[in-house]
Structure 1
Amino acid sequence: MRNDETSKLHILLVNDDGINAPGIYALGKEFHQCYDVTMVAPSEQRSASGHSITISRPLTVIRHHFDDLNIKAYSVDGTPADCVRLALDQLVDKRVDMVVSGINRGFNLGMDVLYSGTVSAAVEAAIYKLPSIAVSTEQFDKVEEYAAAAHYAHRVLKKAVEKGMKNDVVLNLNVPPMKAEEIKGIKVCRMGNMVYGNYFVERKNFEGKADEDHRIYDIKGNIFEPEAEDMDTFYIKQGYATVTPLHYDLTNFKIIQEVDGWF
């Protein structure tokens, strides 16, 4: 990654909320005057799509235009990971220096990273040896409400460039839903243990009976958030933006020798 101030960085913006989401527009608004920006996002909402990719059909790309943003923008009728792959292979005409994914409409804390399309797009970039940042905040509907998260994304990006962040690292940034001047700062911390206690309730038909051949289930449940002072779920509630470094290698190195001994 280039880190000299005279070179204008090329930033690829992606997300999982879709090309028309206010969060990705807020990033474009924050970055387009300082960097070369290309935006490639799903054509529709693809939240919680994880790291899925499309292999059973062709992908359709449509060019988008924003009157007040000087950027190239495309929608893809696929997943967030598809957007990164297609952008790097076909849609960008010069080297990408950094991939920024978001701003997601809702936090990606704890175990959310395993389901998140936002984080998965950033991880896909790291697989291609590009440094990346996944950005999330609490749910908002207007572009202006994402200003603080966009500001902190820019702050983290500049620090990553200054320090020469490695090209296979993902920084998972979560920003509390506050004005930028009200946020206490940035805490680098580990993933929390937030998990979803989901259960399924079968719907009954109008006679109060279940159809054995055609069943419908509603998803119910709660979020469980065990907390410790080194977790993202703890610091976000204290008014800090949180940064958690991630890597796509899921090997459990703590027990690799133990399991080797089994065989």
Structure 2
Amino acid sequence: MHILVTNDDGIDSPGLWALAKAMRAAGARVSVVAPAEEQSAMSMALPPQTNRELRAIIPPAELDGMLAFAHNGSPVGCVTVAMLSGVLPPIDAVVAGINRGLNGGSNVMLSGTVGAAMIGALWGLPAMAVSLQYIGPEPMPWATAAYVAERLFPLLEQIRGQAPLVLNVNVPHVASPDDLRGFRQTRLSEFFFGHYLDIELNPTGPVERSQIIFRFARERVPDFDVDTDDGAVRAGYVSITPLRPLMNSSPLTLNLPDLHA
């Protein structure tokens, strides 16, 4: 199986290379196309591709022989380039991550990591997004999330033919895989980031030219049910949430006006 590995944290993220190494350890042929710089919260954006570049990258020594490129566009742009440019052999699956921070609840609509997996699913490919809990200045346990990704690799074949479908994986911040409580299939939590944002205005002149500072108040985030993605991770489980990029219409019946009344 030929897997495209990408992310939204950029080509220099250690999580990207940890994921590429995990996919190779799982037995896959791996290629990388990732943003040249961080492109977090880009969702499924595909900005105009005028004057964009694709630059060959030398992978870490343990990944010698892997094709790897940096693209100065969005995560979705990276997947699109990989699919259509002809620089890579045909791709069998898309795996995005390992993201620095969870992507649960409403964050799945913002995440460039999830967005990259979503566009892969829309191409008809099995797709997975992998994110690792961030808890502060402590070192990120990339090896734990890489172990999880390798263990979940067989699920890509399990969901083949069921596209568009993305497996959204969130991993607790624990030092060793031995500290994980297990795997849980989950639903999206009710988490909405807007409820936990503090905004400060620091005027340096006219108020309309104020500097805006966003601070995520992590300490105010409540507990969620353990059958949700956010709740499972906070309880020590790896969360796997199947997502579909195409939204079904609501069964709500609207009372529409008469056009000519």
- TMscore range, shorter length: 0.7 to 0.9
Cα separation, 1, equivalents of 2:224 and 2:207: 42
Change (3 A) 1:138 1:230: closer
CA contact (8 A) 1:59 1:77 kept: yes
Say if 2:144 is the partner of 1:161. Answer: no
Cα separation, 1, equivalents of 2:87 and 2:139: 25
Q: What does 1:6-45 align with in structure 2 at a 5 Å threshold?
A: 9-33=1-25, 34-45=27-38
Count of residues in correspondence between the two structures: 248
Deviation of 1:222 (Å): 2.9
One of 32, 39, 50 as aligned partner of 1:46: 39
Deviation of 1:30 (Å): 1.5
Change (3 A) 1:43 1:56: closer
Q: Which residue is equivalent to 2:121? A: 126
Q: Which residue is equivalent to 2:178? A: 181
Say if 2:203 is the partner of 1:204. Answer: yes
Say if 2:104 is the partner of 1:112. Answer: no
Which moved further from structure 2: 70-79 or 157-166?
A: 157-166
One of 229, 253, 256 as aligned partner of 1:262: 256
Change (3 A) 1:247 1:47: same
One of 67, 70, 76 as aligned partner of 2:71: 76
Deviation of 1:55 (Å): 1.2
Say if 2:83 is the partner of 1:88. Answer: yes
Change (3 A) 1:65 1:91: farther
Q: Which residue is equivalent to 2:167? A: 171
Amino acid at match of 2:152: V
Cα separation, 2, equivalents of 1:141 and 1:19: 21
Q: Which residue is equivalent to 1:3? A: none
Deviation of 1:218 (Å): 1.6
SS of the residue 2:209 aligns to: coil
Amino acid at match of 1:229: V
Change (3 A) 1:226 1:182: closer
Which moved further from structure 2: 48-57 or 22-31?
A: 48-57
Which moved further from structure 2: 99-108 or 27-36?
A: 27-36
Cα separation, 2, equivalents of 1:141 and 1:22: 16
TM-score (norm 1): 0.86
Change (3 A) 1:226 1:185: closer
Deviation of 1:216 (Å): 1.8
Structure 1 runs (4+) deviating above 6 angstroms are: 140-144
Deviation of 1:250 (Å): 1.8
Instruction: Provide structure 1 residue ranges, at least 5 long, that are not aligned to the other structure.
Output: 1-8
Provide the aligned C-alpha RMSD in A. 2.3
SS of the residue 1:100 aligns to: strand
Deviation of 1:78 (Å): 0.6
SS of the residue 1:153 aligns to: helix
Q: Which residue is equivalent to 1:214? A: 209
TM-score (norm 2): 0.87
SS of the residue 2:41 aligns to: coil
Cα distance per residue 1:57-101 (max 9 Å; x no partner): 231010001232031000000110100001100154422111000
Which moved further from structure 2: 244-253 or 60-69?
A: 244-253
* % identical equivalent positions: 29
Change (3 A) 1:183 1:226: closer
CA contact (8 A) 2:23 2:153 kept: no
